[in-house]
Structure 1
């Protein structure tokens, strides 16, 4: 939680009169603490920390770590047991990466990601960080000067996506569409104006993508523009409504001519509405979807309440990320990353021999289907306990289980699974709209049929290494390995693992919303949304598992190519995966070949 938000909640408690004396003491204590450790800019002062006695410095760092850990875990408050392992709080690889970046930027401490993922206690981590603080102060990010207000360069991920979209302009494979029924009052003109303001705030949402001098570039419109459509649907049946939503969600964008964010409002009754948000991945990722909802809830609440609102910005923009990426890959670090991935993934690349129901076609994109599933709260809790016993994150355990499932389905021992990672580190990019995701490939060796408890440690090491080398753009790696990307068989991997999570305190339901789970309730202060199913028809990968830790347990879905698999086949696979997870929760010491599924 940010200092501003934490202070605001303490003041709110004082205003409401709840636990008044305790809140006064906490607020007074925090303000005193801030004066001891922060400089005039409100940033942590290393100089102030370094003159403290070591015991006091450790206590100060521990307090700061507790606040930052709560922020990284998207928890409004952290009742920290200083001796508890970080895994006990639900640490995952994304939160660990954020914490590592924060330690580096705040204290100048080069804390290895592997150390954080060992699950140290808050007390141990504070002692190590306090002892390693280096002199010097954190500098605020400077704006890039390599772009104008009307044109910005594109990242390698954007370029690759743009090429594939141009090769198949009628494909909707690069779109994120989410629909929801509004179960609260809705002021449609205010909603339109608020979304327009959000587009103005995030430059990339004003972009179109054109070819200039043989190179694709992002051109920014001078004024914020969105496609906002209001459509009467009072006479429609529910079946027709869902069909119209499906068709609109899969209508492709013209990335050169039209705004790349659409908001469709279907009026289903006098005061009843359904919203469809549709955004192109050239300008957004799943994190951006969370940013949109976060900004929407505050801006809409302020607008209907006739209050002013200020949007806070780090000063960073997507163009800064593009510049930093270009500098990285042309420098020594880029060469180091390239060598790592070529060594890791080079050589023979046998395709996964997934048992398909139909022969493969040559098309890159195919019609997609999805099979949802949900774990009980009891099984979800058992798996959390198992992660603590094994000393791994939930994401690592789920990835390892998926690799076992694919191994059992194919009989192959060398399993490659692609997984998106978020490159919003440094932390200055966490409030920036854009496609910051990159793809890494996690390679597993299941020879010898190891016990799952041993295999998951191998996966943990692989994940740590992959995250430490995640910044090398996947499209460049494809070029290095001379991999064809337009054949019928996807390159480097044919199965993918995704685990979206809620990014903002108070919006924990975003994980289920990003998952597209029907019925997910998203409370946005003055707006209440209930997610509706949206079938997105075009997919790139043969088989993808998307799974998230929601407020009511783990939930997921298998996405698949319908021209390869029958729905019944994937339904059976989903059931096998749930049974496999139950077996792992019960006894992780069994061989991966003998786990019931």
Structure 2
């Protein structure tokens, strides 16, 4: 498999320390609602606020060259859903707040198939399908919060379109998903068992631990710090731009390619390393 949109894995960010092994052993009960992480709460609020559209959709297109074992690919995707609880998670209302609901394994991956092998212009049709897949809305409460479409362009040329909501995934996760999909596909195609070790901790466990970590006054101290730092900060930054600020914000954008030479790239990496940045 090759990726026609190469994944750029970001450098590690500063995050709370990993939960000690003793805390990992006390995993929350899956039979009831589970707390959202603070990042998930923010995205849930924005979704309820409306007007964000597909700004928080995470589309990925994987180009698959050569003879494709479609049964092995579907089985590999199903195995990923069973392996990662977050791919079986829905965000449901819990009073005035929201909570995670983890569905049981065995539901499979919602994969559709599109045959463009006889199309007059398959690449143009593919572009239309990519747009359709990346912009179709998700229902956070009903789920699933991911979807896929396998597009055949020729007998030996396919593209796998995957789209996930940011509330269950991020840029780093896309790299993990792609790597594990390749490992599972190869094993299942060759008739070997699943080679991936079981996951001792799932995202819902991290979210629960994150809430525990912030119950000792940490959250209040951080809030107080930023309220002091941002005192008297302007509501809007009046930056010089090439066109006036729109009356209402939207989330339409485009890609602007920029080439940075080797010397500048090396200098930037040295600078960020020195200051502990990304």
| Unmatched 5+ stretches in structure 2 | 1-8
CA displacement, residues 216-243 of structure 1 (integer Å, 9 cap, x when unaligned):
1222222333321001112151222212
Counterpart secondary structure, 1:181: strand
Q: Secondary structure at the match of 2:80?
A: helix
Match of 2:70 in 1: 188
> What CA distance in whole angstroms lies between the structure 1 residues aligned with 2:136 and 2:244?
27
CA distance 1:367–1:199, change in 2 (3 Å): same
Q: Is the 8 A contact 2:61 2:162 kept in 1?
A: yes
**Contact 2:149–2:162 (8 Å) recurs in 1:** yes
Q: Structure 1 380/350 Cα, relative in aligned 2: closer, same or farther at 3 Å?
A: farther
CA separation of 1:350/1:228 partners in 2, compared to 1, >3 Å: closer, same or farther?
A: same
Tell me the SS of whatever aligns to 1:230: strand
Is 1:213 matched with 2:95? yes
Q: Is the 8 A contact 1:229 1:265 kept in 2?
A: yes
Shift of the alpha carbon at 1:164? 1.6
Q: Secondary structure at 2:75's aligned position in 1? A: helix
Corresponding position: 1:147 with 2:65? no
- Counterpart position of 1:339: 224
What are the Cα deviations for residues 110-157 of structure 1, in whole angstroms up to 9, with x where unaligned?
Answer: xxxxxxxxxxxxxxxxxxxxxxxxxxxx84553344432453221122
Q: Does 1:286 align with 2:171?
A: yes
Shift of the 189–157 alpha-carbon distance from structure 1 to 2, 3 Å rule, reads same
Aligned alpha-carbon RMSD (Å)? 3.0
Aligned position for 1:488: none
Within the alignment, does 1:393 sit opposite 2:275 as a pair? no
- Give the one of 12, 26, 30 matched to 1:94: 12
Q: Give per-residue Cα distances to partners, 1:328-352, cap 9 Å, x unaligned.
A: 3321333333333223333222523
Aligned partners of 1:267 and 1:274 also within 8 Å: yes
Deviation at 1:276, TM superposition (A): 0.6
Aligned-partner Cα distance in 1 for 2:231–2:110: 44
Query: The residue matched to 2:193 in structure 1 has which SS?
Result: coil
Question: What displacement does 1:93 show?
Answer: 6.7
Over 3 Å counting, the alpha-carbon distance change for 1:209 and 1:139 in structure 2 is closer
**Aligned partners of 1:144 and 1:323 also within 8 Å:** no
CA displacement at 1:169 relative to structure 2: 7.2
Q: Are 1:316 and 2:201 matched, yes or no?
A: yes
How far off is 1:207 after superposition? 1.2
Of the candidates 161, 183, 186, which is equivalent to residue 276 of structure 1?
Answer: 161
Residue of structure 2 aligned with 1:225, choices 108, 113, 119? 108
- Report SS of the residue matched to 2:55: coil
Measured in 1, the distance between the counterparts of 2:169 and 2:227 equals 28
Is 1:175 equivalent to 2:61 in the alignment? no
Q: Secondary structure at the match of 1:366?
A: coil
Whole-angstrom CA distance in 1 between matches of 2:225 and 2:166: 28
Contact 2:52 2:251 in 1 (8 A): no
| Residues 381/359 of structure 1: CA separation in 2 closer, same or farther (3 Å cut) | closer
Q: Who is 2:40 aligned against?
A: 158
Q: CA deviation at 1:250?
A: 1.3
Q: CA deviation at 1:370?
A: 1.8
- Give me the TM-score of the superposition, normalised by structure 1: 0.41
Q: What do residues 512-561 of structure 1 show as CA deviations (whole Å, max 9, x unaligned)?
A: xxxxxxxxxxxxxxxxxxxxxxxxxxxxxxxxxxxxxxxxxxxxxxxxxx
Q: Which residue of 1 is the match for residue 182 of structure 2?
A: 297
Aligned with 2:145 (options 239, 254, 260): 260
- Of Structure 1 and Structure 2, which has the larger fraction of its residues in helix? 1
How many angstroms apart in 1 are the aligned matches of 2:131 and 2:224?
44
Residue in 1 aligned with 2:3? none
Contact 1:143 1:320 survives alignment (8 Å): no
4+ aligned runs moved over 6 Å, structure 1 = none
Uncovered stretches (5+) of structure 1, i.e. residues with no partner: 1-73, 75-91, 106-137, 397-459, 468-498, 500-597
Distance apart, 1:323 and its partner CA? 1.9
Distance in 1 separating the partners of 2:104 and 2:53: 28
Cα separation, 1, equivalents of 2:222 and 2:245:
37
